[in-house]
Amino acid sequence: MSLSPADPLEGGQARPTGTVFIEARNLEVGYRSKGSFNPGLKGFSATFGPGITGLIGPNGAGKSTFLRTVCGLLEPRGGELKVGGKSPRAYVETHGVGFLPEVPHFPSFLTVGEFLDGVAGALADGAKPSADYGYVPGLDLLLDRGVQELSQGQRKKVALGAALMGAPEVVLLDEPTNGLDPVAVRELRELLAELGRQGFTVVVSSHHLDELQRLADALVFVLDGKALGSWSREEALSAFGSLDVLYEQAFFGRIS
């Protein structure tokens, strides 16, 4: 979902500065879920720069917690988190962040076009901008559909369109390929690769190592709320040959 208050750029064209970094130092984040306290991040330290960074780890490692904290949806309990040199909430208020949650939720009574027009209108501070849906291939074909009629993959497309509305320079994607067919996965890969080339700061949490191996410029591995290590794609492939082998080494220690 779009968390950006900024006006859409003229003509729908993004002009990233290519200088926005996300910097976490000994980050501590916890939250309550179903009546119990979950210490999601426990001393997490990592840096994410322009380009595409893959956030890799098993379920419950803290990946989604980190993304929600960068969005300002969760408040750190300790340590430090800076987005473009500001606190997450201060950055969101002044620049905006594009966020695609793993399970998007929409008002069921709207059409796709009505929902996206509402997002675009909010970004323009009540004005009616000419929303540009060209970022997401095929999204324009869904505008007259009711959101309650959409498949999981189509809902992901709509949520991605909302996240990219206004061209926020920081884009956070939680399992973006879940529910997408092979054609949609390829289209998403091409879209994200273009954002990375333009200098957007994109963080992708995913279990699909084959996609991250093709796409990511850098990799951060997470376990039990801490970063196990960071590699560039070139470093990872040179040392381990594939992300599958690196994953086995990082989380199971199966390499002698």
Residue span of the structural domain in which 163 resides = 21-252
- Does the residue 114 lie in any domain? yes
Query: Which residue type, as a one-letter code, is found at position 58?
Result: P
Query: What is the per-residue pLDDT for 124?
Result: 56
pLDDT at 34: 72
Q: What is the reported pLDDT for 253?
A: 79
Establish if 176 belongs to a structural domain.
Answer: yes
The whole-number pLDDT of residue 254 equals 55
> Is there a domain that residue 180 lies in?
yes
Question: The whole model's pTM is what?
Answer: 0.86
pLDDT value, residue 33: 72
* Residue 4, domain member (yes or no): no
Q: Which residues does the chain have with pLDDT short of 50?
A: 1-14, 126-130, 255-256
DSSP per position, 162-197: HHHTT--SEEEEESTTTT--HHHHHHHHHHHHHHHH
Residue 15 lies in a domain: no
The predicted pLDDT at position 133 comes to 60
At residue 130, the pLDDT reads: 43
* Torsion angles phi and psi, residue 54, rounded to 5: -85, 130
The reply to whether 12 falls in a domain is no
* Domain CATH code at residue 129: 3.40.50.300
Domains held by the chain: number:
1
The verdict on residue 178 lying in a domain is: yes
Residue 70 lies in a domain: yes
Query: Quick one: pLDDT at residue 238?
Result: 92
